[in-house]
Amino acid sequence: MAKKLANTHVESLLKAFEIHQQKNRAMSYVTNVASFDAQTVAPKNKDAVNERAEAMGYFALEDFKHNNSENYDKLLTDLEAAYDDLSPEMQRIVYLERKNIEKLKKIDPKDYQDYAILLSQAQVAWENAKAANDFAAYAPFLERILTYTRKFTQLTKTVNGPLYNQLLDDYEEGSTIEKLDQFFASLKDRIVPLLKKIQQSKVNIRNDFMSRSFPKHEQLAYAKDLLTFLGYDLDRGALSESVHPFTSEISPNDVRVTTRIYENNFVSNIYSTAHEGGHGIYEQNLDKKVKGTLLGHGAAMSIHESQSRFYENVISRSKTFTHVVFPDLKKKFPNQFKDVTEKEFYQAINEVQTSFIRVEADELTYSLHIMVRYELEKQLIAGTLKVNDLPQAWNQLYTEYLGITPKTNAEGCLQDVHWSGGAFGYFPSYALGNAISIQLLKTMEKDLSLEETINRKNLTPIREWFAEKIYRFGKFYPPFVLLKKVTKEDLNPTYYCDYLETKFSEIYDL
Amino acid sequence: MAKKLANTHVESLLKAFEIHQQKNRAMSYVTNVASFDAQTVAPKNKDAVNERAEAMGYFALEDFKHNNSENYDKLLTDLEAAYDDLSPEMQRIVYLERKNIEKLKKIDPKDYQDYAILLSQAQVAWENAKAANDFAAYAPFLERILTYTRKFTQLTKTVNGPLYNQLLDDYEEGSTIEKLDQFFASLKDRIVPLLKKIQQSKVNIRNDFMSRSFPKHEQLAYAKDLLTFLGYDLDRGALSESVHPFTSEISPNDVRVTTRIYENNFVSNIYSTAHEGGHGIYEQNLDKKVKGTLLGHGAAMSIHESQSRFYENVISRSKTFTHVVFPDLKKKFPNQFKDVTEKEFYQAINEVQTSFIRVEADELTYSLHIMVRYELEKQLIAGTLKVNDLPQAWNQLYTEYLGITPKTNAEGCLQDVHWSGGAFGYFPSYALGNAISIQLLKTMEKDLSLEETINRKNLTPIREWFAEKIYRFGKFYPPFVLLKKVTKEDLNPTYYCDYLETKFSEIYDL
């Protein structure tokens, strides 16, 4: 009888929770659609942008109020009291929601709103400063964002050590400066010398055909075929064009990807598509236990990026993949590839070229770009680096890690949008994702051969392996717990460094 | 001093009104975007459709509650008390909002929600019944929608006469059965005999080239050029593809249009584009006094349709327009038009072909399709026609008006979505729009020559004339008041009938 009463009590709490989530789902549905729309078809005139900003601002505040209410706090407290009667998934949800509400409770709504306004102004200030190569015009915004970030982090801090630890933990539960310093040191020790050797290599990589012209609509059709081949389900998503490629989880059965298409740079489209395809496949293969709930997303940015990088680099930039798709590419684009061999194609898509721009970086140098940002934001948050000294510090690190020095701030410290959006602590996830993708590959290869699977032209076993090991859990496990569960060891960048060394030694005949 | 106090009072009321509208604007922004998205890129799988329906259902109810609240009622009462101190635009807004809230107040929220659910079910039931040609499966839904429509109309009725008068007035303020009976009788008297003469004409219109193949991406590029030529501003909108073309007012500076593209029916794209372009141009040219307010939309469906029809038929199907654009079309599509003359093209785009499907009807027979629906829905609402007798009554009227008899209900009474969406009283606006477009043309030609303007390849004077006479007012005037203000007379279908007779007599050598 008591058990039955307890059940009824839990059921009514769960029902109240579901009603609360209905509003969250509705708001999240429309704001996701509006954001996808803004980055694809929406007109960009100033008035339309302001009209959208007004609507989005309304929902941001509404969301804050809805999830930071006394009612919801009370409901979470009741659910915590009934913790043992909850499903493991619900227990995790309550834990995450408590973490979130405790954070929101400490923030003054006025501050929250002012910060939101600051961010939308900073976005425009950053765009203008980048276009005009005018760091001084942007510096006051970065300064104010840092002030808010420090203030909010100080107020909501729950992990030990410096403030930056908290920001790292916000993105990757369990991440600390200590761990990341070690991680990046290992990468630096192996990638920097490898890069120097490559720069001295006598191997000449032919890349003249990389800028040949490929009609837009044919590229778009190719991207759709590629997505399907990789295992992305177009019936539960869509492919659109955008300036910056991204993946959007509109709802559980509507996970969309975008690509960027340049007539004279066809590989940009191929690898954007494969990258976003990896993100999309992750979100499309959650278990129904978590799908549509607050756990119904990727575990964390690092694990997500491990998947996009896996589909982009480990699969699509591999020799086997080139061998499998190149004949078809040659058939579809006979004029553009008539004088190109499979080997030349493979080398061209893997050419190492140090550049100033992170998003255009090759597989080898990508992590070096991240290291620069990690070092600098760590110091910015600690206050040991002043905003005014950022340009110089940035250029010094590029010289040290990549051997090149930016000539302008536009191609230097102004190139990324992240800090203008208040995203400090986010960059490391990109590099973690690279390393994790290879650590997962090593584990996967105990069960199946990647090469043979690609050669059979059916990638389903790869998707199914990831679904079983990673995707289905959604956010149920923190990222490093999940990584250890799957690979039986902690984060180990050795695999990644070995992989890079083997791959590029062969290409550059080292 | 008293004046000053009154001003402060009015200002605070207007401020409260503005805050109320902020939420409306935010909700309207996101639901418009979501609806545009649903009809263009969104995936169509059942789960995604349900996820969207859940979100939209939430906002529909939220909207009902927001605009049917005691607070808002009180605010309107206060504004009514300060009526003389309000701007003319605000006076009209308060009048329309009062009308709306009085209606909402009389409807039980439970009924409202049940009806919304019924409509979403009916939409699916209609699609299935149409596909399976199974009227019996759909009839119970239509029956229930009629019951709700009668109930709601009875409760909220403010105009005299039969229930259907209220439905007509809801779409076209001032419209009655008496007026429309007269209007349709005039059309019928002239169009039916004209059609019979055309059917006996010996003129042979060549149409073999109309089904030649035009690549999709080239059609899309052509549609964009056409929109710009007509005067639609792509920077404050967008062109997308959809199954059913439509215009969407996302926000004041973001008015989008869509088109339908068939590889083997290129004119479908051209005239869909011109039609929606007309709607779009209207919405893009509102005066800033009404833009972004509750008056910031077209006056009514009839006036709106007069514009889409004007750009589609009066301009784009004219001889002058053909003369102006055909050389360019021939240059852009040399293979498809190599053996086609300008005259053949003009005749082909104006060929009269009786068909069962309203949306494919030519300029002449279109209004006959509307008359069938008008007669039938008038009787359905009055209860003098039973749902089960609808198929037979439909077929009888097609035989009488168009001289053809549908062989299935799919091409008969199941072809339109309107009744499944509860839109009774909406169809007449299409025919009114046709007649109004020509009545406006007659007035316009006192100020400028349409032929000369088109011949100069600059349509700006046309848009500016409409902006001055029609667009800028938004919903400030009821449709028939506006029509009289511009043309100095009441609705007069004679112009329209004369226009049809002149145009088609020439084409068919009558």
Give the chain A residue nearest B57 (alpha carbons).
A26
Give the torsion through C-alpha atoms of B467, B326, B260, B237, to 10 deg: -40
**Cα–chain-centroid distance for residue A10?**
36
Question: Cα separation of A55 and B250, whole Å?
Answer: 11
Contact B29 A240 (CB under 8 A): no
Indicate yes or no: CB of B29 within 8 angstroms of CB of A34.
Answer: yes
Strands laid side by side in the A239-241 sheet = A239-241, A254-259, A247-251
Which of B55, B253, B256 minimises the CB distance to A45? B253
Q: B157 CB contacts (<8 Å, ≥6 apart)?
A: B163, B166
What is the reported pLDDT for B88?
A: 97
**Upper half-sphere CA count for residue A445 (Cβ side, 13 Å):** 12
Domain residue spans of chain B: 2-156, 177-507
DSSP-derived letter for residue B251 is E
- Measured CA to CA in angstroms, residue B261 lies from A30, A94, A237, A325, A414 at distances of 28, 49, 22, 31, 43
Do residues B471 and B310 make contact, with C-beta atoms less than 8 angstroms apart? Answer: no
Beta carbons within 8 Å of A235's beta carbon, 6+ residues apart: B43, B44, B45
C-beta separation of B274 from B226 below 8 A: yes
Distance separating alpha carbons of residues A357 and A376, to the nearest angstrom: 16
Query: In chain B, which residues have their Cβ closer than 8 Å to the Cβ of A257?
Result: none
Which among B29, B55, B237 has the least Cβ separation from residue A52? B29
- Find the helix packing angle between A135-156 and A163-171, rounded to 10°: 90
Provide CB contacts within 8 A for B189, sequence distance 6+.
Answer: none
* Two tokens, residue A490: 């902690």
Residues B209 and B340 sit within 8 Å (Cβ to Cβ): yes
Distance of CA B437 to the CA centre of its chain: 13
Asked if A251 has any chain B CB less than 8 Å from its own CB, the reply is: yes
Structure tokens at B338: 């190599």
DSSP codes, B92-105: HHHHHHHHHHHHHH
From the list B207, B257, B260, B265, the residue with the least C-alpha distance to B228 is B257
- A253 and B26 within 8 Å at the Cβ level: the answer is no
CATH number for the B177-507 domain, one of 3.30.70.100, 1.10.3720.10, 2.60.40.420, 1.10.1370.30? 1.10.1370.30
Residue A261, min C-alpha distance to chain B (Å): 15
Asked if B47 contacts A253 with a C-beta cutoff of 8 angstroms, the reply is yes
A107: which residues sit within 8 A by CB, 6+ positions away? A152, A155, A156
CB distance B236–A43 less than 8 Å? yes
- Determine the Cα–Cα distance for residues A339 and A323; give it in Å rounded to an integer: 16
B23-B25-B26-B29 Cα dihedral, nearest 10 degrees? 160
Specify the length of chain B in residues: 510
Q: How far apart are CA A355 and CA B226, in angstroms?
A: 42
Catalytic residues of B: 276
Q: Considering CB atoms only, which of B34, B45, B253 is closest to A236? A: B45
Helix pair angle (A342-349, A266-284), 10° resolution: 70
Distance CA A225, CA A489 (A): 36
The answer, for B503 touching chain A at a CB cutoff of 8 Å, is no
In this structure, are residues A241 and A40 in contact, taking their beta carbons and an 8 Å threshold?
yes
Following DSSP, what letter does each residue of A262-328 receive, concatenated?
A: -TT-HHHHHHHHHHHHHHHHHHHT--TTTTTSTT-S-S-HHHHHHHHHIIIIIITTSHHHHHHHHHH
- Nearest Cα residue to A445 out of A467, A456, A431, A461: A461
Which of B24, B216, B251 is most worth mutating to test chain A (most A CB atoms within 10 A of its CB)?
B251
| A34 has a chain B CB within 8 A of its CB | yes
> Cβ of B25 under 8 Å from any chain A Cβ?
yes
Distance CA(B20)–CA(B72), nearest Å, equals: 8
Query: Length of chain A in residues, anyone?
Result: 510
From the list B30, B58, B254, the residue facing A43 with the nearest CB is B254
- Please tell me which residue in A97, A241, A249, A276 is annotated as part of the active site: A276
Sheet containing strand B254-259, strands side by side: B239-241, B254-259, B247-251
| Residue A395: CB atoms within 10 Å | 20
pLDDT for position A241: 95
Could you tell me the CA-to-CA distances from A74 to A15, A78, A178 in Å, in that order? Answer: 14, 6, 37
Q: What is the H or E stretch that residue B107 is in?
A: none
211-250 in chain A: CB under 8 A from chain B: 216-217, 234-238, 240, 250
Which chain B residue has the Cα nearest residue A50? B253
Cα separation, B268 vs B262, in Å, equals 7
DSSP state string for B373-416: HHHHHHHHHHTSS-GGGHHHHHHHHHHHHHS---SSSTTTTTS-
| Interface contact A47-B252, CB threshold 8 A | yes
Q: Do A45 and B256 touch (CB under 8 A)?
A: no
Cβ atoms of B442 and B430 within 8 Å: the answer is no
Give me the amino acid identity at B202.
K
Q: Give me the pLDDT at residue A365, please.
A: 95
Contact B59 A26 (CB under 8 A): yes
Cα–Cα dist A102/B181, whole Å: 66
Measured distance CA(A280)–CA(A227) in Å, rounded: 10
Rounded Cα–Cα distance for residues B148 and A79 (Å): 42
Contacts of A23 in chain B (CB under 8 A): 58
- Are A238 and B42 an interchain contact pair (Cβ–Cβ within 8 Å)? yes
Question: Is B35 an 8 Å CB contact of chain A?
Answer: no
- Secondary structure letter of residue A204 according to DSSP: P
CB distance A54–B254 less than 8 Å? no
Residues of B with CB below 8 A from A29's CB? Answer: 34, 51-52, 54-55
User: Whose CA is closest to B354, among B418, B400, B413, B308?
Assistant: B400
* Dihedral sign computed on CA atoms, order A99, A101, A102, A103: positive
| CB burial string A342-380: b at 16+ within 10 A, e below | bebbbbbbbbbebebebeebbbbbbbbbbbbbbbbbbbb
Structure tokens at B21: 């509208």
- Report the interhelical angle of A428-447 vs A177-200 (nearest 10°): 80
Residue B93 has a pLDDT of 98
User: Are A438 and A499 within 8 A, CB to CB?
Assistant: yes
Q: Distance (Å) from the C-alpha of residue B55 to the closest C-alpha of chain A?
A: 4
Taking the CA of residue A51 and the nearest CA in chain B, the distance in Å comes to: 7
Alpha-helical (H) ranges within A68-108 are 70-81, 88-105
Residue pair A16/A90 in contact by the 8 Å Cβ criterion: no
Q: How many CB atoms are located within 10 Å of the residue A196 CB?
A: 10
> Which residue shows structure tokens 């109930």?
B151
**Using only C-alpha atoms, what is the Rg of chain A?**
24
State whether A43 and B240 contact (CB < 8 Å): no
Which residues, given as ranges, of chain B have pLDDT below 50? Answer: none
Digit-by-digit pLDDT tens for chain A (510 residues) are: 566 667 899 999 999 999 999 999 999 999 999 999 998 999 989 899 889 989 998 999 899 999 999 999 999 999 999 999 999 999 999 999 999 999 999 999 889 888 988 988 888 889 899 999 999 999 999 999 999 999 999 999 999 999 999 999 999 999 999 999 999 999 999 999 999 999 999 999 999 999 999 999 999 999 999 999 999 999 999 999 998 899 999 999 999 999 999 999 999 999 999 999 999 999 999 999 999 999 999 999 999 999 999 999 999 999 999 999 999 999 999 999 999 999 999 999 999 999 999 988 999 999 999 999 999 999 999 999 999 999 999 999 999 999 999 999 999 999 998 999 999 999 999 999 999 999 999 999 999 999 999 999 999 999 999 999 999 999 999 999 999 999 999 999 999 999 999 999 999 999
Report the pLDDT value the prediction gives residue B3, as an integer from 0 to 100. 63
| Phi, psi angles (nearest 5°) of residue B300 | -170, 170
Contact by Cβ (8 Å): B41, A240: yes
Contact across the interface for A253 and B45, Cβ inside 8 Å: yes
pLDDT value for A2: 60
Alpha helices by DSSP H, A403-493: 428-447, 450-455, 460-469, 479-487
Q: Pull the structure tokens for residue A198.
A: 């490559």
List CB contacts (< 8 A) between B30 and chain A.
30-31, 33-34, 55, 59
Secondary structure of residue B237 in the 3-state scheme: coil
pLDDT at B2: 60
